Chain A
């Protein structure tokens, strides 16, 4: 151990003694390592900066649809549960998502695009902006500049329809202003439900919550079939007329009044015709047309809908009942107490249907309290043959009636007709502008959305998944791909240069150390005479090589830091806070040091292998 320390000390003294020569060798190492470090620093710095920029910019994760395929709530629910999706919010039609905003005290109005937002909005969260609550909005920098508004101000939002003839307004307080990086367009972010209200108003409908005038989106009646009971049979021509421009496609004369769809209470001795559509629904005008064709035959016309079921809460579970009409249109049936005179279908749109279900007494007993929230389910066969169900929850009153057969429930034809619309679109149990409970048309779906993938790597797969569903989307996947490709090419380039430099550096080091051994032959021979032998002797050139290489690499790192600082300050105008064009992590620097050390040891060992072959006797007198 003593000897080893002594040899290391000797080698260090030698390096110090020949400091000019040592400096030359260190400089040679530094000359090779510095450009390599710089290049790697630039590659790492640039790629990291680009990557960080992409990561920092929510728009790189943004996925926007290019098609206007209608998407329903179930679709959004499914996407929200997709782990590749960080956030998705439906968007209303673009045209209805515009409104004029102004600062309360000033007159100048600015037209802003309105974007819907919800909790966990990636865009807002990225810029540290809380999602607006009801009555609040977040402005983009451009919008705030145009309005001269700041956070805390209250804006008046004015919405108009019918070319400005009908105008309403409501206040929004500005909860925050997004920075300029978040988007260049003048826009306001408000809650989705508030944008839906604006859209509703623009569509001509009333918004009772805000007192905005307009029509009520009442559900209109429709049915896929009709039962016509006449006092006498029609002749062939008039029978054929039943399916001419009436909305019905087929007609069948029934021999008797039995059958599952047959409502109770039809008067005896009638001729029965069953009309049905193909796929679509017949509406009130179609029924009026049928009534016109059978005028003078004392007709009872009843809507039929075999796709509807009512599911009512009952003792020990649920009571599932098929729905049948409790009356003919505008006419009660002799055997049945029509609970309330319903309107005829032609005058329907102004009056809500009576909310009464007639059920058999045993069923009525099971159902218990007779004010119930009934689940109405419509089962429709889709084009591809599968069955789709749509449901609506509706408040109803249940009433017992002796003549109702078990398993059935009877409803006024207007109610049956309104519920029949479920086959085509969602229905909502709501209120009219005047506060009357009514079945209202629900949203058919959304034509757009704003989606953010969970990460850079999820953008491309999500795009592919959406396009497989037939939704063409626009993303910045190509930009991400570019950065990844750039990284790959720079890597290849780097390794080519690194390999050349490493080969050069190794050659330089090896030749340096070899030359050193050659120069030190006599000294080494003297050490050999003094009894230093084998591996201990090779410690001498090994130590020199390590000292010279480490010196070179440390000098190189110092140079690198100086140059990197210079590069970063030159490009500082293009860099954001914390971004560096040229940088190496501590680990990188440690790795560079480690690699150089390994190289030095290898070279030192190679040189000492040669030295061990030198006969001291040969060296002593070679002068």
Chain B
């Protein structure tokens, strides 16, 4: 399996309301074609990790943080903000907890937006959007505005948007938190299918451990230590080593 994103010795410390929280990632490797689940309880650092992987939060320290694409390896820690934004737009797809769709754009325009921002050929984009819509079962919703969709449909649209520009890495932040169990299963399965089709790496953050155990190829979790009442430290560990 080819490595997509790798991080070693990564750490970040955040202060909030007088309490401090440190996240340490000794080793993390995401592979192309693999779905990695990040599970854990609330406040263990799932979202912080995801933001760092999405390159919108810069870690304090890192010994290795790279993205590999078609044999080229890029150092993500030394890249400047505009290069990071470029990598974000080109190689990463993101599915937000509640979809994160733009209310003023139709479903179609929402799906097409990342491709348009990259200046991809409109014909290719339209074909790809149609394929994705077909795959995700939202063909009938393309002309609607997001507010007229159900929660599940919105997530499907968000998934289509995350995949339209064929990114190397797809990140999903609790994609099923806002839908019922049955829909969650459905969404997860089409999501996985769609990602597999593109050959991208997938990282899903979820608190739904049973669901993740069924669908993820690998799983990581956090080991949280309360050092003092106001000081906590969370370390990323592989699923097998979790307590």
Contact = CB atoms under 8 A, between A and B. Distances in A.
Interface of A: 2-3, 6, 10, 13-14, 16-18, 522-523, 526, 528-534, 615-617, 620-621, 623
Contacts of B104: 10, 13-14, 16-18, 523
Interface string B118-151: 1100000000000000000000000001000000
Contacts of A623: 98
Nearest to B109: A13
Nearest to B174: A621
Contacts of A621: 47, 97
Contacts of B109: 13
22 contacts: A3-B119, A6-B116, A13-B104, A17-B103, A18-B104, A523-B102, A523-B103, A523-B104, A526-B100, A526-B101, A530-B88, A530-B94, A532-B89, A533-B81, A533-B82, A533-B85, A533-B86, A534-B81, A534-B82, A620-B96, A620-B100, A620-B173
Contacts of A16: 104
Given A16-B104, A17-B103, A526-B102, A531 B56 contact: no
B81 A522 contact: no
B69 to A, nearest CB: 15
Nearest to A612: B81
Contact of B117 (A6, A522, A617): A6
A472 B126 CA distance: 90
Contact of B102 (A2, A10, A616, A617): A10
Nearest to A15: B104
A531 B117 contact: yes
Nearest to B98: A623
Given A17-B104, A532-B89, A617 B56 contact: yes
Chain A interface SS verdict (over half): helix
Contact of B114 (A13, A530, A617): A530
A2 to B, nearest CB: 4
Contact of A529 (B81, B88, B118): B88
B42 to A, nearest CB: 12
Nearest to B94: A529
A621 B103 CA distance: 16
B105 A10 contact: yes
B179 interface: no
Interface in B168-200: 173
A6 B104 CA distance: 14
Nearest to A535: B82
Interface in B38-84: 47, 51, 54, 56-57, 81-82
A94 to B, nearest CB: 83
A27 B56 CA distance: 38
A10 B82 CA distance: 21
Contacts of B113: 6, 10, 530
B162 to A, nearest CB: 10
Nearest to B88: A531
B90 interface: yes
B117 A530 contact: yes
Interface residues of B, number: 32
A528 B116 contact: no
| Central interface residue in A17, A528, A529, A621, by most chain B CB within 10 Å | A529
A523 B100 CA distance: 8
B231 to A, nearest CB: 21
Given A2-B119, A13-B105, A617-B56, A531 B86 contact: yes
Contacts of B100: 522, 526, 529, 620
Given A615-B57, A620-B96, A531 B103 contact: no
Contacts of A532: 85, 89, 117
A305 to B, nearest CB: 107
Contacts of B82: 533-534
A413 B119 CA distance: 116
Contacts of A17: 103-104, 145
Given A2-B117, A6-B117, A529-B56, 18 more contacts: A3-B117, A10-B102, A14-B104, A17-B145, A18-B104, A522-B100, A526-B101, A528-B85, A530-B88, A530-B89, A531-B85, A532-B89, A533-B82, A533-B85, A616-B56, A617-B47, A617-B57, A621-B97
B52 to A, nearest CB: 9
Contacts of A533: 81-82, 85-86
Contacts of A523: 102-104
A6 B88 CA distance: 17
A13 to B, nearest CB: 5
A533 B55 CA distance: 12
Nearest to B84: A533
A61 B119 CA distance: 70
A530 to B, nearest CB: 5
B103 A534 contact: no
Contacts of A3: 117, 119
A32 B239 CA distance: 63
Contacts of B103: 17, 523
A502 B151 CA distance: 46
A531 B81 CA distance: 10
Contacts of B97: 621
A522 B99 CA distance: 11
Which 7 pairs from chain A and chain B are nearest by CB? A531-B89, A533-B85, A17-B104, A2-B119, A617-B51, A14-B104, A531-B88
